Chain A
């Protein structure tokens, strides 16, 4: 049986609280990140993505104290992104017990950073996250600064450059599907996963477990990430940290692959 990583994505805001965005804009407060990670740990989630979405805009480094508290109680791999601008910062994150670093703005704006990170820590520890949005003619571009700045690069080109520089994994995060429960952008995902030979993680738009299968089987993704479906429940979007059971994942995803 093939297992696919199903990864909750947790977003930290400026004051260290957990939020969930819709289309990279409207934010809903979720709660205390340490408490959320504790619950995910009890539920034995496959992996976590922890993204500080305000660090780059504020020109701030990662919140090492908070990260240390989170990691010390988490017995699953965690990737951290947000505010990373140097290899020394990455070394500090790995020392704290972080498994991977996630680079978005820095991957596009700091020449050589992905390469030096990959050479020092290994490709498997370096994830490049591509925040992608479509224009009115449906042309896809990669954005940085938490969706504020258009690089003009296509996700395919950006992914190829990242892998060539040593990224071991690519996250494809659809900005317009973020928080909308409209399913993954399969066309975007397919184009990127066909263009590189490293694992590609789908992110943005998942409504429930049934959205995972097409991302893997039809669009060539290697793993799936989701935010809203793991922190909200019901039409009113009440905050409830959840994760599918092992049985549910087996029956509705793994055994179908």
Chain B
């Protein structure tokens, strides 16, 4: 059973639809209390960084999440904004992030993109994983995923980098630190590639 965190900033239905299609049960947690017994968490997210942090705070979820993720080591997967919230903070906002991963979220450096490459980066990109990660299980070719983002994660060092992709320049497409993982792309909108990744998260992560 995977618990999907509802903080009014994510496309819960799509995540739930894809989990159902691969035979994984899920439920939606809209309050701090709903999170207490979660065995595995997904933090989806679309929207502004501060909006996401503010909603998590207002729902009283941050203390519970810190307890679950940092103390009990409950596995968690952040998606898109949900991945960015795992970092210490973002160029997009003023509020601190969850700070679970030694990384920051930065704006795409438009100066490094030629005019044909626009921001938001919107579309599919081949995504290179570090072969050591269990989230990479099941891929026999380089997977491609759907991205929609204007900001990307920058890690302090590459030990927490899970995968990378390219939009004008190479950017971090995912992070992993113990039981904590986050991906910039949308597995729930990435066909068979997304199904494999979510199945790996559900079964082996």
B133: Cβ under 8 A from any A Cβ:
no
Q: Which B-chain residue is minimally distant from A223 (CB atoms)?
A: B123
Chain B nearest Cβ from A201, distance in angstroms: 10
Rounded to whole angstroms, the CA-CA distance of A198 and B21 in the bound complex is 34
Residues on B with C-beta less than 8 A from A125 are: 46
Chain B nearest Cβ from A56, distance in angstroms: 25
Q: Is the CB of B125 within 8 A of A199?
A: no
Q: Which A-chain residue is minimally distant from B122 (CB atoms)?
A: A199
> Which chain B residues (96-114) contact chain A, with CB distance < 8 Å?
110
Q: Which A-chain residue is minimally distant from B113 (CB atoms)?
A: A197
Q: Is the CB of B47 within 8 A of A122?
A: yes
Contact digits for B1-28, partner A, Cβ 8 Å, 1 yes 0 no: 0000000000101100110010000000
Q: Which of A73, A76, A222 contacts B122 (CB 8 A)?
A: A222
Q: Is the CB of B120 within 8 A of A123?
A: yes
Rounded to whole angstroms, the CA-CA distance of A76 and B191 in the bound complex is 6
A213: Cβ under 8 A from any B Cβ:
no
Q: Which A-chain residue is minimally distant from B146 (CB atoms)?
A: A77
Q: Which of B13, B21, B188 has the most CB of A within 10 A?
A: B13
B74: Cβ under 8 A from any A Cβ:
no
Q: Which B-chain residue is minimally distant from A78 (CB atoms)?
A: B189
A95: Cβ under 8 A from any B Cβ:
yes
Known: A77-B186, A99-B189. A124 touches B120 (CB 8 A): yes
Q: Is the CB of B191 within 8 A of A44?
A: yes
Residues on A with C-beta less than 8 A from B18 are: 75
B48: Cβ under 8 A from any A Cβ:
yes
Rounded to whole angstroms, the CA-CA distance of A4 and B126 in the bound complex is 12
Bin the interface of chain B by size. Answer: 20 to 34
Q: Which A-chain residue is minimally distant from B118 (CB atoms)?
A: A199
Chain B nearest Cβ from A216, distance in angstroms: 8
Q: Is the CB of A199 within 8 A of B120?
A: yes
Q: Which of A3, A95, A97, A169 contacts B17 (CB 8 A)?
A: A97
Q: Which B-chain residue is minimally distant from A196 (CB atoms)?
A: B118
User: Lowest 6 A-B CB distances belong to which pairs?
Assistant: A97-B13, A97-B14, A44-B191, A124-B120, A199-B118, A5-B123
Contact digits for A145-180, partner B, Cβ 8 Å, 1 yes 0 no: 000000000000000000000001100000000000
Rounded to whole angstroms, the CA-CA distance of A137 and B148 in the bound complex is 39
Q: Is the CB of A71 within 8 A of B13?
A: yes
Q: Which residues of B contact A (CB under 8 A)?
A: 11, 13-14, 17-18, 21, 46-48, 110, 115-116, 118-120, 122-126, 144, 146, 148-150, 186, 188-192, 194-195
Q: Is the CB of B11 within 8 A of A75?
A: no
Rounded to whole angstroms, the CA-CA distance of A101 and B23 in the bound complex is 29
Known: A75-B194, A97-B13. A168 touches B189 (CB 8 A): no
A235: Cβ under 8 A from any B Cβ:
no
Rounded to whole angstroms, the CA-CA distance of A181 and B151 in the bound complex is 38
Chain B nearest Cβ from A88, distance in angstroms: 14
Q: Which of B118, B124, B190 contacts A198 (CB 8 A)?
A: B118
- Name 25 interchain pairs, CB-CB below 8 A, sorted by A: A1-B126, A3-B123, A3-B144, A44-B192, A46-B146, A76-B190, A77-B189, A96-B13, A97-B11, A97-B13, A97-B14, A97-B17, A99-B11, A121-B47, A122-B47, A124-B149, A168-B120, A169-B120, A197-B110, A197-B119, A199-B118, A199-B122, A220-B116, A222-B122, A222-B123
Residues on A with C-beta less than 8 A from B125 are: 3
Residues on B with C-beta less than 8 A from A97 are: 11, 13-14, 17
Rounded to whole angstroms, the CA-CA distance of A70 and B56 in the bound complex is 31
Q: Which of B11, B21, B115, B123 contacts A46 (CB 8 A)?
A: B123
Residues on B with C-beta less than 8 A from A95 are: 13
A72: Cβ under 8 A from any B Cβ:
yes
Rounded to whole angstroms, the CA-CA distance of A220 and B46 in the bound complex is 27
Q: Which A-chain residue is minimally distant from B14 (CB atoms)?
A: A97
Residues on B with C-beta less than 8 A from A123 are: 120, 150
Residues on B with C-beta less than 8 A from A24 are: none
Chain B nearest Cβ from A165, distance in angstroms: 16
Residues on B with C-beta less than 8 A from A76 are: 146, 189-191
A94: Cβ under 8 A from any B Cβ:
yes
Contact digits for A77-114, partner B, Cβ 8 Å, 1 yes 0 no: 10000000000000000111101000000000000000
Residues on B with C-beta less than 8 A from A44 are: 191-192
